[in-house]
Structure 1
Amino acid sequence: MKQPAPSPLQFNSGIVIATALGLLGLGLLLWGCWIPAKAQLAQILLERAWQQSKADGRPHKAWPWADSWPLARLTIPALNFETIILKEAGGEGLAFGPVLLDQSAPLGRTGTSVIAAHRDTHFRKLADLRIGMQVIVEPVAGPKLSYKIDASRVARWDQSGLIRDSRQDTLVLSSCWPFDGLSSSPLRFIAEATPTRQTASLLH
């Protein structure tokens, strides 16, 4: 039995749906590309601001409306990884780079300094972090600080066990976990590093 030909209305509806789905897919693709591109562009601008701060010792914003500014450069040689660390001064800081959490110790001071960043952009490389790797922190003012990763774990964000006023000198790198997750998670990856003997003598 011969099937009736589709009506013009059905044909047009099919085109509209297919076009809508195509545009939605394109939009998701562009959005997925925009987030990493924005992160890379931000690092270029932040690098320039960091160099200005190194030159005159004053904070410089990467763009006029920024609510944060570079504090230091973080390097993990074994991962060929380098990034600018920002001061945590607003909710948008994490969108542009790792931030030094305000409730933690300042870099170069005694205590626990916590640096946090998103798992899908600036701290993606932490998935390859291993015990014994060297971490170098170069503040805007002061000498370079060298640490070695000696522990890593996964914990809920509200059960990290990090002590705000700890007298133990520790550098913590933290990000959401798992690294390949696509949805929000209450879990955090926490890597702890202790200062080398030379750096320990510089902390105050």
Structure 2
Amino acid sequence: MSHLAIEEVRASQAASSEAASTTGKITEIPTPDFSLWSPARVTQFKSALAQHGALAVGILRVPKEHIEAPIFEGTDDLTLNKGVGHIAGTDAIGGGGNTGIAGHRDGFFRGLKDIKVGDKVEIETSSKPLVYVVERVVIVDPQDVSVLQERGRPELTLVTCYPFYVLGSAPKRFIVKAKFVQGDPGA
């Protein structure tokens, strides 16, 4: 990432830092590695931060795949242009059920293309770190929301479009299911 781009991200973070100190939101947003991103997605990321600020509810990390992304509430275009989004109707981050998080395949979630069963997924929140381990990876139709259903245990579901390198709309969804292994879900 260029020095100018880093300064743009930091300026946006600084502007929202004071408000975040009273809300418990995370303001230290990681600087993205744009090496796998499409040029259009990089432009949209910078624009979204400038318009909408950078108050995140957490940071999602997949160390083996070099993914580090701020988590925001919602999955609208503006939100997914600046990070990944907590899917409405799924359990809260750190809750005891199925937490769904969506991201763009040509941005923050491009690295999911290489994820494997057994890889760790970490979520940092203002109150606690959480660790999950990937149990399975599946490809489904966009209408198949069964992957987001509760299964009576803490788990994480990552959702992005598939295939990763296709022009236009992607016809499928790439799903990563991970079980909770460390932290304090639901506390």
Q: Does the CA-based 8 Å contact 1:46-1:70 persist in structure 2?
A: no
- 1:103 maps to 89
- 2:109 maps to 123
Secondary structure at 1:70's aligned position in 2? Answer: coil
| 1:137-152 paired onto structure 2 within 5 Å | 137-140=123-126, 142-152=127-137
The question of 1:178 aligning with 2:163 is answered yes
- 1:58 maps to 24
Secondary structure at 2:173's aligned position in 1? Answer: strand
CA–CA distance in structure 2, aligned partners of residues 103 and 68 of structure 1: 23
| 1:1-204 paired onto structure 2 within 5 Å | 56-59=22-25, 65-66=51-52, 69-88=55-74, 90-140=76-126, 142-196=127-181, 198-199=182-183, 202-204=184-186
Q: 1:68 to 1:158 in 2, by over 3 A?
A: farther
CA–CA distance in structure 2, aligned partners of residues 50 and 192 of structure 1: 33
Q: 1:45 to 1:120 in 2, by over 3 A?
A: farther
CA–CA distance in structure 1, aligned partners of residues 95 and 12 of structure 2: 23
Q: 1:165 to 1:81 in 2, by over 3 A?
A: closer
Q: Report the alpha carbon displacement of residue 190 of structure 1 after superposing the two structures with TM.
A: 0.1
Segments of structure 1 that go 5 or more residues without pairing to the other structure are: 1-36
Q: Output the aligned Cα RMSD.
A: 3.2
CA–CA distance in structure 2, aligned partners of residues 129 and 41 of structure 1: 31
Q: Which amino acid aligns with 1:203?
A: P
Q: Report the alpha carbon displacement of residue 186 of structure 1 after superposing the two structures with TM.
A: 3.2
Q: Report the alpha carbon displacement of residue 96 of structure 1 after superposing the two structures with TM.
A: 1.5
Q: 1:165 to 1:46 in 2, by over 3 A?
A: farther
Q: Does the CA-based 8 Å contact 1:43-1:97 persist in structure 2?
A: no
- TM-score, normalised to structure 2, is 0.72
Q: Which amino acid aligns with 1:150?
A: E
Q: Which amino acid aligns with 2:104?
A: H
- TM-score, normalised to structure 1, is 0.67
Segments of structure 2 that go 5 or more residues without pairing to the other structure are: 28-47
Q: 1:171 to 1:79 in 2, by over 3 A?
A: same
Q: Which amino acid aligns with 1:193?
A: A
Secondary structure at 2:80's aligned position in 1? Answer: helix
Q: Report the alpha carbon displacement of residue 121 of structure 1 after superposing the two structures with TM.
A: 1.0
- Identity, % of aligned pairs? 23
Count residues with an aligned counterpart: 163
CA–CA distance in structure 1, aligned partners of residues 21 and 82 of structure 2: 22
Larger radius of gyration: 1
CA deviation vs aligned residue, 1:140-192 (integer Å, no higher than 9, x gap): 3x210000001010001111313445422110111000011112023100000
